[in-house]
Each structure stands twice: as C-alpha cells, then as structure tokens.
C-alpha cells in the first residue's frame, strides 16, 4: 500500500478538479503498475476494459485513520475523477465519482468538483447538446458530498 500511496501527492485544500488537471497528473505523477491496479482499483470498477486508462492524481491531507485518494479513469465516451477511501491496510471503504465528462447519445454532461478544507466536496454539473450550442447554465446542478471521519463519503 505504501508504494501505491506514494503515487498520489498530498495536496493543499481547497482544490478544484478540472478536466485540464489530467494532463498535469499524467505528466508529473508516476504511473500506476498493473499490480497496484489489480490490488486497489480494478476490483471496485464495474466498467472496465483493456482500453480504460487510470492515472494517480491526488491524496487528501490530514486523514489519520484512513487514506483518501483521487484517481482519473478514462474510458470510451466517459472520463472522470474517482474519489476513493481505503483503510490503513488498503481495503476499500467507499468510492464515488467526482467530476468529468461523459457522452450520453447527443448530450454531453460535464462537471467540476471543488474539495474544501472542511472535507466538503461541491460538484457543479451541467449538460448540453453535443454541438455545444445549447448549454443552459441555469440548469446546472449542485451536488454536495462530505468526507466523514470514518472514511465514508456521504451524498448530502
């Protein structure tokens, strides 16, 4: 677990996860090994094939009783940041998608997440047509998550 955790640099909060950060993470963070993927990520992924890519992103600061990580998952017509918490010995506690981009027929859904210092996570999600000419900002949704002291991720 130690080598796996080292791939995720601890960040300073607040921090916003945008689509552009993926390039920085893949450029500066060490790649995840197949053994690490098989031990900590793939057993918990429902949608996965040989073309799915995973990138280590960030680690939450100041978690004493668990580990809280964000990784990038890119698949066909969908890429997203995944927030996952683990026990100190590496067992999954909880997992939630945070933000990203997905295509649903002729609709594009895009979201941005901000991780706050109080362990709250604010996600703003909006959708528009694939031609990008009909986005309605007033129809954006706000989703709130809270990271609890036991590592569970609560949708508020």
Where do we find the tokens 């991720």?
Answer: 153
Question: Could you tell me how far CA 57 lies from the centroid of its own chain?
Answer: 8
The chain-wide mean pLDDT, for the chain, equals: 91
pLDDT at residue 138, rounded to an integer: 62
pLDDT at residue 143, rounded to an integer: 95
Q: How many CB atoms neighbour CB 42 within 10 A?
A: 13
Instruction: Name 128's Cβ contacts closer than 8 Å, sequence gap at least 6.
Output: 107, 108, 134, 135, 136
Cα separation of the two ends of the chain: 30
Q: Quick check: 134 pLDDT over 70?
A: no
Mean pLDDT computed over 51-77? 94
Largest CA distance in the chain: 48
The 8-class DSSP code of residue 25 comes to H
Confidence of residue 81 (pLDDT cuts 50, 70, 90): very high
pLDDT digits (tens, 9 = 90+) for 89-99: 999 999 999 99
Instruction: Name 30's Cβ contacts closer than 8 Å, sequence gap at least 6.
Output: 6, 7, 56
pTM confidence score: 0.90
């Amino acid at each position: 677990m130690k080598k796996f955790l080292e791939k995720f640099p601890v960040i300073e909060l607040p921090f916003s996860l945008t689509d552009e950060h993926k390039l920085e993470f893949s450029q500066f963070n060490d790649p995840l090994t197949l053994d690490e993927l098989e031990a900590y990520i793939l057993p918990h992924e429902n949608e996965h094939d040989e073309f799915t890519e995973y990138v280590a992103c960030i680690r939450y600061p100041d978690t004493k009783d668990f580990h809280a990580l964000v990784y990038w998952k890119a698949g066909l017509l969908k890429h997203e940041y995944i927030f996952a918490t683990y026990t100190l010995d590496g067992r999954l506690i909880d997992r939630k998608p945070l933000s990203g981009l997905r295509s649903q027929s002729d609709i594009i859904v895009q979201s941005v997440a901000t991780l706050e210092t109080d362990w709250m996570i604010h996600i703003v999600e909006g959708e528009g047509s694939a031609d990008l000419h009909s986005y309605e900002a007033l129809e954006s949704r706000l989703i709130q998550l809270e990271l609890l002291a036991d590592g569970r991720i609560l949708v508020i």
